[in-house]
């Protein structure tokens, strides 16, 4: 048997490369402050939304945003979506997808850098690291230190904070699916449904692991979005760029002083790498590891200020502008970078869907009628020769209040009707029904036509007996011995 190729055993590139733990350094600057703002707003929206109340009257829940799975409703402020209107939700999801395309075409990977939940929670956990263990150097030293009692205590304390944040995150999620104050009480008195505990457990553990430990690895190895984005980006896309024409060859301030004119502006201080939440060195160029959070711009601008060189060695710009700069060309105006033809196209599609949804929402009726005829028997022949057909009719009252509606026979001359809650002696061309709030009422309707009526189509119209006078109609078939 041949011995394995010794080259393979000594190859510096194994099939698996161990992760280098990232310890980002604290930094201040305009992009860091913007990141603080976005973090505060997104977390406030996530944790706070289920607690916003919205008065819909006594017959509907008063939670502003609620996915009511038990009653199959989705409430968002004054909008209520029924199961048969799922196309609204589909439309919103399509808008969210196109919105990501739109943002990418305008400002590159801004979603990844600022608002993606993985980014926001990782950032939050990194601040916990700083709070408990200190800044980068202290954390690196502690990481390399042996497991003493003090290190174990620190770790347990930090992981407990992680767990509290993760639990709060999972707990906030379930509040979107039930009345938040009620669910909190039921949760702690062990009266909540099992699925609530299971969901909180799963989300607590995923937040704890993804935000606390896996961090940038989720972005680099697990998330499909960076792969899609790289396919969407081109030389006109805004991204964080290191101006190598200005920075290279890099060398310390001392070296540059000794050899004037031989070195570029990069003093090789590695501050841009030290602050990077994914550990990427932007001087190697754009990469899937770079979420374009721009913290390296803050770091490098500070270094440039300190050594008295112009800011912008690392900058937000397009590759095209970066290349133009090397030839001494001016940047294109910012509005031209943002308002590209593809951005305009995405915006038109995005806003078109949005306007279509708004129009459909604004013009939809809150009263609907559907119906189906009994198939067996298709008709009944009465002793006086008249013919009776039976129908199951459903009236949907989408208002959060009780209503009255009148259903009437349209067409089918001489026919009368009554319902299963009436005496047939009260049969008439139209009958009034009480509809419960926010519900579908099912009624059996009997329609009787005189002897000799030929098979024909007719309508059952419904109109609400209130100031809105909303109406709807359903086409039905009247069957006789002569056929359908």
Q: Interface with ligand SF4 by CB under 6 A: which residues?
A: 240, 242, 247, 266-272, 275-276, 278, 280, 282-283, 290-296, 299-300, 303, 313-314
Q: How far is the CB of 185 from ligand SF4 (least distance, A)?
A: 43
Q: How far is the CB of 309 from ligand SF4 (least distance, A)?
A: 8
Q: How far is the CB of 234 from ligand SF4 (least distance, A)?
A: 18
Q: How far is the CB of 297 from ligand SF4 (least distance, A)?
A: 7
Q: Which two tokens stand for residue 277?
A: 């939440």
Q: How far is the CB of 346 from ligand SF4 (least distance, A)?
A: 23
Rg from Cα positions in the chain:
33
Assess contact for 391 and 374: CB atoms under 8 A. yes
Which residues neighbour 408 within 8 Å (Cβ) at sequence distance 6 or greater?
Answer: 429, 430, 460, 461, 462, 463
Q: How far is the CB of 271 from ligand SF4 (least distance, A)?
A: 4
Of 277, 247, 461, 452, the closest CA to residue 370 belongs to 461
Taking the least distance from each CB to ligand SF4, the nearer of 303 and 393 is 303
Burial track 89-122 (b if 16+ CB lie within 10 A, e otherwise): eebbeebeebbbbbbbbbbbbbbbbbebebbbbb
Taking the least distance from each CB to ligand SF4, the nearer of 115 and 182 is 115
Taking the least distance from each CB to ligand SF4, the nearer of 199 and 270 is 270
Q: How far is the CB of 293 from ligand SF4 (least distance, A)?
A: 4
Assess contact for 262 and 251: CB atoms under 8 A. yes
Taking the least distance from each CB to ligand SF4, the nearer of 313 and 448 is 313
Residue 288 DSSP symbol: T
Task: Give the Cα separation of 295 and 156 in Å (integer).
Answer: 29
Which residues neighbour 168 within 8 Å (Cβ) at sequence distance 6 or greater?
Answer: 47
Q: How far is the CB of 112 from ligand SF4 (least distance, A)?
A: 9
Residue 313 DSSP symbol: S
Taking the least distance from each CB to ligand SF4, the nearer of 306 and 482 is 306
Q: How far is the CB of 289 from ligand SF4 (least distance, A)?
A: 7
Cβ neighbours around 202 below 10 Å, total? 12
Assess contact for 168 and 203: CB atoms under 8 A. no
Q: How far is the CB of 435 from ligand SF4 (least distance, A)?
A: 57
Cβ neighbours around 60 below 10 Å, total? 20
Taking the least distance from each CB to ligand SF4, the nearer of 313 and 435 is 313
β-pairing, 367-373 vs 416-419, is: unpaired
Taking the least distance from each CB to ligand SF4, the nearer of 313 and 387 is 313
> What SS3 state is found at 179?
coil
Residue 349: enclosing H or E segment and its boundaries?
A: helix 341-363
Taking the least distance from each CB to ligand SF4, the nearer of 29 and 461 is 29
Task: Give the Cα separation of 30 and 284 in Å (integer).
Answer: 24
Taking the least distance from each CB to ligand SF4, the nearer of 135 and 374 is 135
β-pairing, 79-81 vs 238-242, is: unpaired
Taking the least distance from each CB to ligand SF4, the nearer of 171 and 247 is 247
State the residue for tokens 């999972």. Answer: 170
**Residue 387: φ, ψ to 5°:** -120, 135
Taking the least distance from each CB to ligand SF4, the nearer of 196 and 240 is 240
Taking the least distance from each CB to ligand SF4, the nearer of 146 and 260 is 260
Which residues neighbour 446 within 8 Å (Cβ) at sequence distance 6 or greater?
Answer: 388, 389, 390, 391, 417, 418, 419, 420, 424, 427
Task: Give the Cα separation of 318 and 332 in Å (integer).
Answer: 10
Of 366, 460, 479, the closest CA to residue 418 belongs to 460
Q: How far is the CB of 192 from ligand SF4 (least distance, A)?
A: 40
Q: How far is the CB of 132 from ligand SF4 (least distance, A)?
A: 23
CB burial of residue 17 (10 Å; 0-12, 13-18, 19+): exposed
């Amino acid at each position: 048997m041949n011995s394995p190729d010794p080259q393979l055993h000594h190859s510096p590139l194994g099939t698996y490369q161990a992760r280098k733990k990232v310890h980002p350094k604290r930094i201040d600057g305009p992009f860091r402050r913007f990141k603080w703002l976005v973090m505060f707003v997104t977390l406030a929206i996530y944790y706070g939304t289920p607690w916003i109340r919205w008065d819909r009257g006594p017959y509907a829940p008063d939670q502003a945003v609620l996915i009511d799975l038990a009653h199959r409703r989705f409430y968002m402020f004054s909008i209520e979506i029924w199961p048969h209107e799922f196309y609204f939700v589909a439309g919103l999801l399509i808008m969210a997808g196109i919105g990501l395309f739109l943002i990418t075409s305008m400002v590159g990977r801004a979603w990844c850098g600022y608002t993606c939940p993985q980014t926001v929670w990782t950032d939050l956990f990194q601040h916990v690291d700083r709070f408990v263990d200190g800044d980068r150097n202290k954390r690196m030293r502690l990481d390399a230190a042996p497991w003493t009692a003090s290190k174990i205590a620190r770790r347990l304390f930090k992981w407990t904070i992680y767990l509290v944040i993760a639990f709060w995150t999972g707990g906030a999620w379930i509040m979107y699916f039930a009345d938040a104050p009620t669910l909190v009480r039921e949760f702690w008195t062990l009266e909540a449904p099992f699925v609530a505990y299971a969901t909180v457990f799963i989300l607590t553990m995923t937040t704890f692991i993804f935000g606390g430990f896996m961090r940038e690895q989720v972005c680099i190895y697990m998330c499909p979005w960076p792969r899609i984005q790289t396919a969407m980006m081109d030389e006109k896309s805004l991204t964080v760029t290191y101006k190598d024409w200005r920075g290279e060859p890099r060398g310390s301030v001392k070296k540059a002083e000794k050899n004037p004119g031989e070195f570029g502006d990069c003093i090789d201080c590695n501050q841009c790498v030290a602050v990077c939440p994914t550990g990427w060195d932007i001087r190697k160029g754009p990469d899937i590891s770079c979420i374009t959070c721009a913290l390296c711009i803050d770091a490098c601008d500070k270094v440039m200020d300190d050594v008295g060189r112009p800011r912008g060695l690392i900058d937000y710009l397009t590759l095209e502008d970066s290349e133009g700069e090397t030839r001494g060309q001016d940047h294109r105006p910012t509005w031209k970078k943002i308002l590209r033809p593809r951005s305009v196209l995405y915006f038109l599609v995005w806003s078109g869907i949005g306007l279509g949804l708004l129009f459909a929402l604004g013009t939809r009726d809150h009263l609907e009628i559907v119906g189906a005829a009994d198939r067996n028997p298709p008709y009944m022949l009465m002793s006086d020769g008249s013919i009776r057909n039976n129908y199951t009719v459903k009236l949907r009252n989408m208002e959060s209040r009780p209503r009255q509606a009148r259903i009437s026979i349209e067409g089918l001359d001489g026919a009368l009707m009554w319902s299963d809650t009436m005496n047939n002696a009260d049969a008439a061309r139209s009958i009034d029904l009480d509809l419960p709030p926010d519900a579908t009422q099912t009624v059996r309707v009997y329609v009787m036509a005189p002897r000799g009526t030929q098979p024909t189509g007719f309508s059952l119209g419904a109109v609400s007996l209130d100031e809105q006078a909303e109406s709807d109609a359903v086409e039905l078939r009247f069957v006789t011995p002569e056929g359908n």
